[in-house]
Structure 1
Amino acid sequence: MRRVALPLLLSAALAAPAPAMAEPDPGRPGDGGGATVVLRADHAAVGTDDRHIRLRAWDTSEQWRQGSLSGVKVREGRVVFDRAAATVTHAGRPYDRAQWTSPWASPGFAFDELIASWSALTNGNAFVEISVRGKGGGDTTSWDLLARWKSGHKHLERHSGADQPDDGTSVNVDTWVTGGLTSYQLRVSLLRRTGTTAKPSADLATAMASRIPASAGPTSEPGVAGGTVLAVPRFSQMTHEGHYPEWGGGGEAWCSPTSTSMVLGYYDALPDPQRYSWVPDDHVAPFVDHAARSTYDFAYDGTGNWPFNTAYAAPLAGKGFVTRLRSLREAEKLVKAGIPVVASIAFGPGELDGAPIGSSNGHLLVIVGFQEDGDVVVNDPAAATRKGVRRVYQRGQLERVWLEASGGLSYLIHDAEHPLPSPGKHSNW
């Protein structure tokens, strides 16, 4: 399972008083950490157009050059460590740092959450830091650290930023929470141990700013993907029960890396077996154990950090990032383009008919298709075996437990053969 981060109440200047909605009782957090119950402002309007979401991506050489370069070079769509712009200390050891800073970006509305994603290569004793700051009402916040991340398992225990609840902002695992800012800057720092020749680099950085209502509103009408079901392989997180307690222990804790692995399997992009040769031969789907190890957040104490999952998947598949979708109609556009959607949901007893578990305070599954009537075909990793992973959920039920729990939070992972469809008037991918 995965805790679902719900936005804090907006400031009075941004939202009129209204009933608030609490997330389900978290009980035992599924993949570690003690998520506290927080509230989302319940905006009066609940239509699709009232879901304010804007994603900004830096992906091409031209886009990277729009930012400020300090010790980095832009090469073939990547920012690459070139020279030390500064020397800093981490864990008592010196590291050379170079960094890229985005221009100020304004989503066009006052946002109360921001989630950053990235795709990076961190060879040797090197890692990346992701930081953000914002503006609102003329004031500029301090830089907040969102993550220290590396792809390997030596030299650094990857982790999300601490709470940092100064100047009206805070960090909730992978989510930057604000009282309602109007613009932001994203910073990607590339660090290598002083004296080494590592060349860390990044080929994608995204920032998804949002302000969304608490209610899902009316169920969306079926869209373009009726009758389309993608051939996504089925893996069960429960077959890993008891595996590697140091990385969450499998079972209910591994819905996120299991879902991510299903999508990678669909693209024939699972890691080379040599990368998980350390997993015992009797472990089913050993690449899921590898994914759990590679996505584990040592600060959050779990594998459910959203951008850690897409950062793991992106170099394998091609691209990957976290965003929010406004309804299942947008998920249908992606499925029609051949892109499965990993969705973050939470539900109580009786709220999701046919689910393999009775309730969850935070769970990830893969939307793989749609029936002709609009109901949703999913690969739900909470099934006890692979055979039971494929499920069909009622459209209205799944849409509600997705939009009201996580605001439509989704992983979009795709390869070159499956480019993102045009979002039309929307701006969330």
Structure 2
Amino acid sequence: MRRAEQPSRRTVLAAAVAAAVTASAGPAAADPEALMTTDTADPARGVPARTVDNRFWVSFGDWSGGTAKGTRAVAGARAGVVIAKPAGTVDYTDPHTGTTAAWEYATWTSPVHRLTVPATEAIVSWNAHTPAGTWIQAEIKATYTDGSSTPWYVMGRWAAGDRDIRRTSVDDQKDTKSTVWTDTLAIDDPSTGLRLASYRLRLTLHRKPGTKATPTVWRLGAMGSDVPDRFTVPASAPGLAKELAVPRYSQEIHKGRYPEYDNGGEAWCSPTSSQMIIEYWGGRLTAGQLEWVDPAYDDPQVCHAARFTYDYQYAGCGNWPFNAAYAATFKDLQGVVTRLGSLADLETLIAAGIPAITSQSFLKEELTGAGYGTAGHLMTVVGFTADGDVIANDPFSATDEAVRRVYRRREWENIWLRTKRYNASGKVVSGTGGVCYLYFPARPNAAQRTALAAVGVRV
């Protein structure tokens, strides 16, 4: 997220699993109701077999199929789960304010999902409406391939606002086999062959006692993945020339602004990228929502995105699920976190009009024309040239006008898809292995549905 080569929790995660060369594990039985990424390997184009399993709960049938304790499923254009009758009351002490308050709560627990790709990592994401006086907690409990289980891990305590609680990840969660690193549950030593075989997700919906307010959760899911350790990936053949008209915003013009949110604009690549795509889909903030921003600042919506993606524990705006959840607070938008397997996947999305936010890390000399190196940075992919090169809105630019960049295809796909790399000191550290955020309409058209299904995202 910053341009300098600095350690990040992604680097810490890599250090925890650095000894691993991914070992295979036997396939688990598939969940017949899930729409998951399928094997669409295309060796002729350099498209590898898939290593990702997505399962999302989104329909009325999905929400009716879980275990409810005080919640109920609601139908409609956006089916979801809400508080019906609270299961009880709990005191919560906010670690970032020190305030203790009582909250009514209700829970929904998913059925067991057996991963078609026994996973080394899992990332949970959600879309929800949390009116004033409400918030949610998302958890995961996984079963290992050796038959043992994780504890219930908290993957986020979240509200769209920041008045009732401070949205937060939870540190210091681990057992003897896995650890939660901010937003990612990871096997500690994949070289043993141990994997996550299945999981359940649990939502806890909270509201102030005595009120009728309720959160509504529209989407909940997890991305499990087992991406082979690799310093390089096979080259893919170009398949599309198209560019989407995505707004361009620079994080750099916000340098020094609102340092309480991740030290200001210098570190705002994730919310800046999120705001670009939100506005591409028509998402707009009102004057009332922006009245807290200094009127002298250009692009105040970027400041707003930074504030409302900020993770108070991580002390940054780069929590992946928090960005997806922020996008889904805009009318008729959805957001997910997943991994893609190749530039062909991005071409499929771009062809259907869906831009993507990608996470990558690189040395200055590894990406021609960037002019910087980074231990972790988000960009918005908006298209491909006739030669197959990547057109990216890179928020690490001096002005909004300078945001559009063209990066060499081979360089770009390698820095995005690899899982290991050498940093400026020659140390082996992590790469993100194809992580991306996808934001798309609540009611996508046929072409968009087909493209999302092709990359394993159920709508």
Please confirm whether the aligned pair reaches a TM-score higher than 0.5, indicating the same fold.
yes
Could you say if the C-alpha distance between residues 2 and 68 of structure 1 is closer, same or farther in structure 2, counting changes exceeding 3 Å? farther
Per-residue deviation, residues 258-315 of structure 1 (Å, max 9, x unmatched): 0000001111213223211111111110000000000000000000000100100013
Partner of 1:7: none
Q: CA deviation at 1:51?
A: 4.1
CA–CA distance in structure 1, aligned partners of residues 436 and 12 of structure 2: 19
Q: CA deviation at 1:420?
A: 3.4
Q: Of 322, 326, 330, which residue of structure 1 is paired with 2:345?
A: 330
2:449 counterpart of 1:420: yes
2:153 counterpart of 1:144: yes
Partner of 2:386: 372
Could you say if the C-alpha distance between residues 333 and 426 of structure 1 is closer, same or farther in structure 2, counting changes exceeding 3 Å? closer
The residue type paired with residue 54 of structure 2 is L
2:276 counterpart of 1:262: yes
The residue type paired with residue 106 of structure 2 is A
CA–CA distance in structure 2, aligned partners of residues 109 and 227 of structure 1: 32
Partner of 2:6: 27
Could you say if the C-alpha distance between residues 149 and 182 of structure 1 is closer, same or farther in structure 2, counting changes exceeding 3 Å? same
The residue type paired with residue 280 of structure 1 is D
Q: CA deviation at 1:65?
A: 1.5
Alignment of structure 1 residues 246-257 onto 2, 5 Å: 246-257=260-271
CA–CA distance in structure 2, aligned partners of residues 377 and 258 of structure 1: 17
Structure 1 residue matching 2:253: 3-state secondary structure: helix
CA–CA distance in structure 2, aligned partners of residues 117 and 323 of structure 1: 9
Contact 1:141 1:167 in 2 (8 A): no
CA–CA distance in structure 1, aligned partners of residues 69 and 316 of structure 2: 33
The residue type paired with residue 324 of structure 1 is R
Contact 1:192 1:198 in 2 (8 A): yes
Contact 1:79 1:202 in 2 (8 A): yes
Partner of 1:15: none
Structure 1 residue matching 2:412: 3-state secondary structure: helix
Q: CA deviation at 1:181?
A: 1.4
Q: Of 97, 113, 127, which residue of structure 2 is paired with 1:119?
A: 127
Contact 1:2 1:304 in 2 (8 A): no
The residue type paired with residue 174 of structure 1 is D
Could you say if the C-alpha distance between residues 290 and 35 of structure 1 is closer, same or farther in structure 2, counting changes exceeding 3 Å? farther
Per-residue deviation, residues 210-233 of structure 1 (Å, max 9, x unmatched): 00012242111112xx22100001
Contact 2:339 2:433 in 1 (8 A): yes
Partner of 2:428: none
The residue type paired with residue 236 of structure 1 is S
Alignment of structure 1 residues 88-167 onto 2, 5 Å: 88-91=90-93, 92-136=100-144, 137-167=146-176
Q: CA deviation at 1:427?
A: 3.0
Q: Unpaired runs of 5+ in structure 1?
A: 4-24
Q: Of 312, 329, 352, which residue of structure 2 is paired with 1:298?
A: 312
- Stretch moving more, 173-182 or 385-394: 173-182
The residue type paired with residue 383 of structure 1 is S
CA–CA distance in structure 2, aligned partners of residues 425 and 414 of structure 1: 14
The residue type paired with residue 397 of structure 1 is E
Q: CA deviation at 1:141?
A: 1.9
Q: CA deviation at 1:250?
A: 2.5
Partner of 2:227: 212
Q: CA deviation at 1:253?
A: 0.6
Q: CA deviation at 1:426?
A: 5.4
CA–CA distance in structure 2, aligned partners of residues 197 and 239 of structure 1: 42
CA–CA distance in structure 2, aligned partners of residues 26 and 351 of structure 1: 13
Partner of 2:406: 392
Contact 2:352 2:451 in 1 (8 A): no
Q: CA deviation at 1:28?
A: 6.0
Partner of 1:411: 437
Contact 2:117 2:224 in 1 (8 A): no
CA–CA distance in structure 1, aligned partners of residues 388 and 104 of structure 2: 53
Q: Of 377, 392, 395, which residue of structure 2 is paired with 1:381?
A: 395
Q: CA deviation at 1:323?
A: 0.4
CA–CA distance in structure 2, aligned partners of residues 297 and 69 of structure 1: 28
CA–CA distance in structure 1, aligned partners of residues 247 and 306 of structure 2: 18
Could you say if the C-alpha distance between residues 424 and 297 of structure 1 is closer, same or farther in structure 2, counting changes exceeding 3 Å? closer
The residue type paired with residue 83 of structure 1 is K
CA–CA distance in structure 2, aligned partners of residues 376 and 81 of structure 1: 45
Partner of 2:81: 79
Alignment of structure 1 residues 31-70 onto 2, 5 Å: 35=12, 37-38=14-15, 39=17, 41-43=20-22, 48-70=47-69
Could you say if the C-alpha distance between residues 328 and 194 of structure 1 is closer, same or farther in structure 2, counting changes exceeding 3 Å? same
Percent identity over the alignment is 38
- Stretch moving more, 212-221 or 183-192: 212-221
CA–CA distance in structure 1, aligned partners of residues 321 and 13 of structure 2: 20
Partner of 1:13: none
CA–CA distance in structure 2, aligned partners of residues 369 and 214 of structure 1: 28
Structure 2 residue matching 1:278: 3-state secondary structure: coil
Q: CA deviation at 1:249?
A: 2.9
Q: CA deviation at 1:198?
A: 1.7
Structure 1 residue matching 2:195: 3-state secondary structure: strand
Q: CA deviation at 1:192?
A: 1.2
Partner of 1:20: none
The residue type paired with residue 224 of structure 2 is A
- Stretch moving more, 59-68 or 289-298: 59-68
Could you say if the C-alpha distance between residues 157 and 72 of structure 1 is closer, same or farther in structure 2, counting changes exceeding 3 Å? same
CA–CA distance in structure 2, aligned partners of residues 131 and 171 of structure 1: 11
Please provide the CA RMSD for this pair: 2.2
Using the size of structure 1 for normalisation, the TM-score is 0.89
Partner of 2:366: 351
